[in-house]
Amino acid sequence: MESAGGGSADRAAEGRGGEGAPPSTESRTAAARTVNREASASNQTRTFQKKVTKWGKEKGKGNSNNNSTGGKDSPSHGNPVARKGVSSVLILVGLPGSGKSTFAQKLRSKGWWIISQDALGSRESCLREFRKALQRGKNVAVDRCNHTRAQREVWIREALSLTSSSERTKIYALCFNTDVRECRRRVMTRPGHATLSPQEEEEKNVVFRFLRESEEVKNREGFIKIYRRYSKKEEEKGDEGRLLQIILRETSGKQYEFRRLTNAKHHQLDSEAKPFVPSSSSGSSREEGSANKGVIDCSKSVLLLFDLNGTLINKTGRHRTIKSRPSLGMLLKLREFGFTLGIYSSATLKTCTKALKQMVEDMRANGQSKEDELGVVFRHLLYRDFCELAPGVMGKPWDTVKPLGKYVSDINKCILFDDDEHKVLEGEKFHHVLVPAWDGDEEDDMLECLVESTLRHIESSNESDVRMAAAKVSLDLVEHAESKRGGTGGEASPTSATGLADLTLEAP
């Protein structure tokens, strides 16, 4: 049999007319290029055929229902080729009632296998179905709360153990950071749920217990990418459907139809799906992770903004003396851990300056600060001119709100501590910690609780997203206030007093 190189050389000679004359340098170069090009094409064809043959064998082993060559999943019918060991796994993470199962059903309609403990009953049953799906080369979504690292690690370890090092399963996470009040409202209004009834939630406060136990999802756990969904209004705006399309596109990986493979170049077998840049809203007025040329740069550290009246000082008014809240110096601990501190008040610049001077003097008098410059403690000051008029919010024509997205470079790295929940824009409530107002009690230790809770829930001063941490800090402050008033302190009370962050009430 004539080799590919020899045949090419003969054809090159025939192209010169067969006169036997010595070929020119240009002719020899052209002939050599032709030989190399056709030899490369021949090698590519053989490589391609070997891969297709290998995939066909794996298909026969992986699907016992279609062992014959003419089965309905045979390549000759143009159906997707089985991909043993190269599946995509999407681990859903969220509180009960956050919308995981609803989203999972949309994935099911797109051909994904759904591992749901609500349907299967136990984690052992879920693991068996999980292994079966991956062994068949299916894309799998795990529909459980998965709110701790230990729970997520089970699925990650199992997925990686079923594949070789050269064909690792791709693992993604989708976090449902739905407002805890909305989650509880859904749980309390869904009858006949398989695992969590309204009666059990009423007795045990499962949603809030899961919130306290929740651990932030990190890429270092083994995830290629982490998707996040925040607002229940995303579905109304069409963002949820867009998020679904993004996930389907980015997790598609090595999924091809045989009809495409027959005419494809060999390098397409190992290519990934084309990246798609998300454009959905993150629950605020700006896109998640987008840059904003605001007055405050959050790129290097998390920004913590504090209200004045009722939060750090007493409720001021005409002819009233400014008093600092007890344990105000505890805020210096946040600065020592690398956080950036600032003030965001609806008071005038004159009033804010007067209050700041008094606060620093009080801290210095108590031996808590030796700084002489206000800017060393609070690096940024946003006063009334930075607020927006919102007539009627509290029934007064001069009511204002405090927009965050307009003035910070990355709103996901910013938290506003305020004693008034009406000061926050609707789309930015995930960045708000509602601090119980100070009533003048000299034994008040709310700021100590605030600092301790913040350091516990925000792992680093450069955390990329602090919204889940803000919700946990709010819950801690509510429980602390309840215990100070004589409550049990353990589980969150479903009947918090007026003025506190009553997280168990229905979402507005």
- pLDDT score at 311: 93
Specify whether 347 is located in the same domain as 248.
Answer: no
Which of 270, 293, 312 finishes a domain? 270
pLDDT tens-digit map of 164-195: 544 667 899 999 988 888 888 888 887 666 56
Alpha-carbon distance 82 to 65, whole Å?
Answer: 13
Provide the domain count of the chain: 2
Do 142 and 115 touch, CB atoms closer than 8 A? yes
470, 358: one domain: yes
**What pLDDT is attached to residue 152?**
92
**Domain CATH number, residue 377:** 3.40.50.1000
Encoded tokens for 90 = 């999407």
Domain check: are 312 and 264 in the same one? Answer: no
Which residue range forms the structural domain that includes residue 441? 303-484
Same domain as 349, residue 234: no
Give SS3 for 335.
helix
User: What is the rounded distance in angstroms from the CA atom of residue 27 to the CA atom of residue 174?
Assistant: 60
Does one domain contain both 258 and 114?
yes
| Residue pair 80/255 in contact by the 8 Å Cβ criterion | yes
Does residue 359 form part of some domain? yes
What pLDDT does residue 433 have?
94
With respect to residue 358, please indicate whether it lies within any of the assigned structural domains.
Answer: yes
User: What CATH number is given to the structural domain containing 122?
Assistant: 3.40.50.300
pTM above 0.85, yes or no: no
2: Cβ–Cβ under 8 A, 6 or more apart, which residues? none
Helices (H), 112-238: 117-120, 123-135, 149-161, 180-188, 198-204, 206-213, 234-237
Spatial distance between the Cα atoms of 177 and 165, rounded to a whole number of angstroms: 33
Residues 263, 345, single domain; the answer is no
Residue 321 belongs to some domain of the structure = yes
Q: Same structural domain for residues 85 and 156?
A: yes
- pLDDT, block means (10 residues), the chain with 508 residues: 44 44 59 59 55 49 40 35 64 89 89 85 85 89 90 89 66 88 83 65 75 86 85 53 82 44 34 32 33 67 94 74 88 88 90 87 71 65 86 68 90 93 84 90 92 91 88 90 67 35 32
Instruction: Kindly state whether residues 448 and 310 are assigned to the same domain.
Output: yes
- Distance, in Å, from the CA atom of 500 to the CA atom of 494, rounded to the nearest integer, reads 12
- Give a yes or no: residue 503 inside a domain: no
Claim to verify: residue 247 and residue 352 sit in the same structural domain: no
